[in-house]
Amino acid sequence: MELSDNIKSLIALSLKEDIGRGDITTLSTIPQSLNGKGIVKAKSAGILCGIKVFTEVFRQTDASIKCKWHFEDGQMLAVNQVCVSFEGPMQSILTAERTALNFLQRMSGIATLTRRYVDLIKHTSAKIIDTRKTTPIWRELEKYAVRTGGGSNHRMGLYDMFLIKDNHITASGSIPSAIENAIRYNNEQKLRCRIEVETKNMDEVNEALQFPIQRIMLDNMNPEQMKEAVTQINQKCEVEASGGVSLATVQMIAETGVDFISVGALTHSAPSMDLTLLVEKV
């Protein structure tokens, strides 16, 4: 991934949050002249993700720190495998280490969980996608981590795709009214954005099918209902399953024939990968 200005600013803010007026422990115990080297190794197996972000944390702290990566984003790390080694001023290494690890562990954790979901449905044509249930300001990084794990991204935000959900339908009065308004707005603003509608039962699916939309979401339907909906939709548009998706249920959901399975847990519940950073004097 290329680091956008937003990500670089996020890294700068994260360092400022942690360092504040100064790393008083390091400044008081470590000589400024001391150089060090170190490694990051895996304490649990998982998918590596976030190497450019980790490197940028060190660069913003002290550009003289040099990192050498032994794996690439998307590769599997086994327990005790070293993913990166680095060398530079010890004060700077110790000041940057936690912020750098926080990014790497969080992104690797999302990529690892995503890969688990993807592997469970690889015998089907369904795709695992994420949601907007992301950490504020971290969305670009978390959605990159989903892609690194083999998943795909849903919309990036409220601006790049219409997603008519139950609250929109309630406020608009009906599914037809909400869709008609979205189509009108799409045309008037010349957006050319895709339109998706959330449905909860077959009656709502049939209502949505009366309009030229691109995707129907099946919300919290059981597998039998999903199969019926997929048959009824009959490739007139894409079909997304949402709600009640877990590692225990994703395989049978994929086998209903849906095109996409959205999983909020990829970003809101992924455990961080267990990585450790160790240093020594040069």
Active site residue 200: no
**239 and 277 both lie in a single domain:** no
Query: Cα–Cα distance between 45 and 54 in angstroms, integer?
Result: 19
pLDDT 10s digits, 213-247: 999 999 999 999 999 999 999 999 999 999 999 99
Whether 126 and 211 map to the same domain: the answer is: yes
Residue 264 belongs to domain with CATH number: 3.20.20.70
Give the pLDDT of residue 138.
Answer: 98
Mean of pLDDT values over 170-193: 98
75 lies in the same domain as 132: no
Q: Is 274 a catalytic residue?
A: no
Average pLDDT over residues 15-20: 98
| pLDDT tens digit sequence for 242-264 | 999 999 999 999 999 999 999 99
Instruction: Examine the domain organization and report whether 259 and 132 are in the same domain.
Output: yes
Asked about 219 being catalytic, the answer comes back as yes
Residue 165 bears catalytic tag = yes
Q: Do both 230 and 243 map to the same domain?
A: yes
- State yes or no: is 227 an active-site residue: no
Instruction: Report pLDDT for 122.
Output: 98
- 258 phi and psi, to 5 degrees? -65, 155
| Sheet with strand 162-164: strands edge to edge | 127-129, 260-262, 238-242, 215-219, 195-199, 162-164
pLDDT at 282: 94
- Residue (of 179, 186, 187, 242) closest to 213 by Cα position: 179
Residue of 73, 219, 240, 259 marked catalytic: 219
Same domain, 63 and 145: no
What's CA 61's distance to the chain center, in Å?
26
Q: For the segment 117-160, what is each residue's pLDDT rounded down to a tens digit? A: 999 999 999 999 999 999 999 999 999 999 999 999 999 999 99
Which pLDDT does position 157 carry in this prediction? 97
Residues 107 and 161 in one domain: no
| Tokens representing residue 210 in the block | 């009366």
275 and 259 housed in the same domain = no
Residue 201 and residue 99: Cα distance in Å, rounded?
A: 46
Which residues lie closer than 8 Å to 27 by C-beta, 6 or more apart?
A: 91
Shared-domain flag, residues 110 and 234: no
* Domain of residue 219, residue span: 119-268
Tell me, yes or no, whether 264 and 229 share the same domain.
yes
Are residue 73 and residue 123 in the same domain, yes or no? no
Q: What was the pLDDT predicted at 196?
A: 98
Residue 116 has a pLDDT of 98
DSSP state string for 158-177: TTSSEEE-HHHHHHHSSHHH
Selection from 17, 270, 277 nearest residue 145 by Cα: 270
- Among candidate residues 99, 31, 35, the one with its CA nearest the CA of residue 61: 99
Q: What is the pLDDT of residues 60-116, one digit of tens each?
A: 999 999 999 999 999 999 999 999 999 999 999 999 999 999 999 999 999 999 999
Which residue in the list 23, 56, 130, 196 is annotated as catalytic? 196
Q: Are residues 229 and 99 in the same domain?
A: no
Catalytic residue among 41, 52, 116, 165: 165
- Contact call for residues 53 and 141 (beta carbons, < 8 A): yes
- What domain count does the chain have? 2
CATH of the domain at 79: 3.90.1170.20
Quote the pLDDT of residue 243: 96
Pairing of strands 82-89, 66-69: antiparallel
Question: Helix, strand, or coil here: 256?
Answer: coil
- CA distance linking residue 171 with residue 181, whole number of Å: 12
- 16, 43, 66, 98: which is the annotated catalytic residue? 98
Res 95: pLDDT:
98
Using the Cα atoms of residue 131, residue 135, residue 140 and residue 143 in order, give the sign of their dihedral.
Answer: negative
